Amino acid sequence: MSKAMEAVSAARRNLVLDHPFFGVLSLRLDLVENGSVRTLETDGRKLWFNPEYVNNLSKHELQGVVAHEVLHCANGHVWRMEHRNETQWNHACDYVVNPIVLDAGMVLPQGMLDGTPYKGMSAEEVYERLNQQPPSSQKPEGTPDEEEGESGDESSAETGQPQQQDGTEDGSDSQPGSGNGDGDDEGPSSNDQGDGQDGDDGQGNNGGGGDDDGGGQGESQGDDQPLPDGSECGQIRPCADDAQPELQADWSSAVLNAAKRAESMGKLPAGLERLVEDIKNPPQDWRAILRRFVQQNAMSDYSWRQPNTRFMYAGLYMPALRSETMPPMVVAVDTSGSIDEITLSQFAREIDSIAADMQPERVYVVYCDAEIHGVDTFERGEPIALNPKGFGGTDFRPVFEWVEEEGLQPSCLVYLTDLAGDFPIAPPDYPVLWGDTSGYGPPPWGESVRIRCY
C-alpha cells in the first residue's frame, strides 16, 4: 500500500472515531489512487485522489478534505448539476460544504473558498448568485489579469477548472496531472473494482469533465465566469443520468442511517440538520402549491359577512354571493430586508402568471415591514411587478388591519416573508398562505409553503 493510500485510509478511520457521520459515509466510497486528478474527486461511488496532493496535506487537513468530498455526495451534488457549468457548479458546491466541515471542528487546506456569506443556502442558490456577480468580483484579490496569459487560458480550457495559485497547498504546479500519465492506470488501490476504467476516468486534467456521464457540459458552455484560483480541495464528477435515481436513493438511506448513529453519540454537526430534514421531508414544489391554493379559493362563494340585500326587507339575514368572478386577491411582501432579489423576482413572475390565468377582479400588493409603506393596485389583466419599499423591522399585523380598514373580502391573501415577526392573535375569515423564505416556521395559523428560489 502506498503512502498516500495509507494516509487516506487512516483519515477515514479517524473520521469514524472522531466524526462518525462523515466517517461512516466515507466508507461507502472506493479509494482509487490516480495522479491525473487535481486533488480529490468523487462521483458518489469512488473517491479518486492525487497521491502528491495527499502527501502534502497534514493529517487533519486530509480528514477535512475527505469530509468535504463526503458532503458533496450526501448533498446530492454529483447528480444535481443538470445543465449548469461544471466549473461554476463545483465552486458553488464548495461554498456550501466548506462551512459545514469547519463548523464540525475540522480544518481545510489554506486558501479554500470561504462559504460564510452563503451559509444555509443550497448549491443552486449559490450558483445563481455567482452568475449574478461581475466576473472581476469572482477573482481573488490581488490576482492581476495580465498574469493569466496564454498558458493559463489553455490550462483552464483543457481542465474546465481554474488555475491554481502558486504558494497554496493546492498548487497545480506540483501536481503530476500536468501531463504525466504514469499514474493514469490502476496504481495502488484498495479496490480493484473499476481499475480497468481508471485510466480513462482520470480524463487527463479534466477533473471528470470528459467522461460520458455528462462531464462535457462544462466545456460546452464555456468558462465564461472566472473563479477564484488555488481554492479547490475536491471535485465532483457528475454521474450518468440513468444512475442518478439509484445513487440518490442509496445516499439518502445512508445519510439517514449515519445521522442516526451520530445523534446517538451526540456528534451530529448542527449544520447537517437541514440536510437530514430535507431527506426526511423533501422540499415541496412551492409554485404548484401556490397555484393550487389560489385556484382553490378562486371560485365564487357565499359569505355571511356580506348579507344578501334581496332578503333584508323580510328581516332575513342570508349570505350573499361574493362575485361571479374571482374576488380581489391580496399579496403582502415582507420588506424588512430578509428577502433577496432572486426570490422576489421569481415570486413576482409566479404571481403574475397565476393572476393572468385566474383573472381576479383586482390584485392588491401591500409592502410592509413594521408598518405599511405602500400599496400597488393592479386591475384585471394588468401585469404584476413588485417594487419593495421599507426595510425596517417585521410586523405582520398592519397588513391584516389594512384589509379590514379597506373593507375588503379577498378571495385569499398570500404573504411572502421569512416568518420572523409578530402575528395577529386570531386568523382572518379568508384563506392565508405564508410563503416561508427561511424555514423559520411554521406560522401559528394559516397554510405555509417553503419557498426556495435559485
Of residues 165 and 9, the one with the higher pLDDT is: 9
State whether 399 and 443 are in the same domain: yes
Which of 265, 280, 295 terminates a domain? The answer is 280
Residue-level pLDDT at 307: 59
Domain that holds residue 61: 3-280
State whether 271 and 352 are in the same domain: no
State whether 103 and 7 are in the same domain: yes
State whether 252 and 299 are in the same domain: no
State whether 252 and 318 are in the same domain: no
- Report the relative pairing of strands 372-379 and 362-368 from DSSP bridges: antiparallel
How far is the C-alpha of 21 from the C-alpha of 255, rounded, in Å?
8
State whether 308 and 260 are in the same domain: no
DSSP assignment of 133-175: S-GGGGSPTT--GGGTHHHHHHHHHHHSSPPPPTTSTT-GGG-
Q: Report the range of poorest mean pLDDT among 72-81, 115-124, 211-220, 432-441.
A: 211-220
State whether 273 and 131 are in the same domain: yes
Residue-level pLDDT at 44: 93
Residue-level pLDDT at 337: 77
Q: Report the range of poorest mean pLDDT among 88-102, 317-331, 412-426.
A: 317-331
Of residues 137 and 259, the one with the higher pLDDT is: 259
Residue-level pLDDT at 136: 52
Q: What is the CATH number of the domain that holds 301?
A: 3.40.50
Q: Is the per-residue pLDDT at 108 higher than 60?
A: yes
**Sorting pLDDT into bands at 50, 70 and 90, what band is 208?**
very low
State whether 276 and 297 are in the same domain: no
Residue 184's contacts (CB-CB under 8 Å, 6 or more residues apart) are 34, 35, 36, 198, 199, 202
Arithmetic mean of pLDDT, 355-363: 91
Give whole-number Cα distances, 357 to 323, 350, 352, 382, 407, in Å: 17, 11, 9, 12, 26
Which of 243, 263, 280 terminates a domain? The answer is 280
Q: Report the range of poorest mean pLDDT among 20-24, 302-306, 351-355.
A: 302-306
pTM, rounded to two decimals: 0.56
How far is the C-alpha of 365 from the C-alpha of 348, rounded, in Å?
10
Which of 247, 265, 280 terminates a domain? The answer is 280
State whether 266 and 346 are in the same domain: no
Residue-level pLDDT at 452: 78
State whether 259 and 297 are in the same domain: no
State whether 306 and 245 are in the same domain: no
State whether 248 and 309 are in the same domain: no
**Sorting pLDDT into bands at 50, 70 and 90, what band is 1?**
confident
- Of 352, 346, 303, 298, the closest CA to residue 326 belongs to 298
State the total domains in the chain. Answer: 2
